[in-house]
Structure 1
Amino acid sequence: MLAAGCVAVPQAHASPYGAEYVRSIRCDSANPWPGARLRIVVDVYTGGPFPTDGLPGPAITLSSNNPGGVGPVLELTMLTTVTWRNLSTGRTGTVRVPTRAHTADWDVVLHPGRGAVRFTVHQKIGAMAFNPMVNPQYSSCTGTAVA
């Protein structure tokens, strides 16, 4: 039922590849170009039958988005490193993803096995100005999910 004003309707979040949305975490970074900080939201998904890397699950997918980015002319180069630890089994791992784009967007798939997983995202974001990674900026954030 709609009344005057806005009504918030809870919706199930699902990724394009059928995984379940868990939560979003903020992983903002200083901008390597002169300008405002980069507002980076990392969405966490689990349970997808077909992770984007093509390997079988269980998997945890981290997908960042940076609305607006640095505009249509300027570019960013990024090296995203995610370290993880399965708290149930003790298993650990690291995934590195290099990216080049107009926005600080990247996707990382973790294969930690079943159980609770703590992960840390380390971002190195630089300006693409005739050379990659000019004026690199560093940021990190942490989260948890159950695979």
Structure 2
Amino acid sequence: MEQKRKEISDVKKQIFDLQAKGKNLSKQDIMSFADLESGRTLWAKNFELLGKMTPDDMALTGLKFNKRNKKLYIEGISVVYKDEEEYEVVHNYINRMKRNSLFSKKFPKIKFRQGSLKKVRGQEIVHFEVEAALKPSPKKKRNKKS
């Protein structure tokens, strides 16, 4: 019983010490942090998702983000097999991105931008660019102070 009292006393002391060291955050501080957090894009997670969605016979050759229009441009190349339509592999890739709920939540508008066909060592290769529009951040409400 004495051991438990000592443990409780130690925990209370630790709580008191932490409260003494702690900084009191105002509601405005917490709301500012929440606004910052909600508008943040975790690029590493999105790039990891892109990698997982990319077929083995496709390679991404470029990723560019335009800050002005908030669009991610994804460039790549892929083999076109004899039994496939020219851009079928690209459209399948776009559909895979759209069906991925984690990716499409951040990039709700994904579309084919441009492409070209080349023959390399007798094999058809498609070079393509896909445009993925970043979901707009929620509008921040400003409290008016009088």
> Normalising by structure 1, what TM-score?
0.31
Greater relative contact order (Cα 8 A, min sep 6): structure 1 or 2? 1
When normalised by structure 2's length, the TM-score is 0.31
Compare the two structures and name the one with the higher strand fraction: 1
**Greater Rg, structure 1 or structure 2?**
2
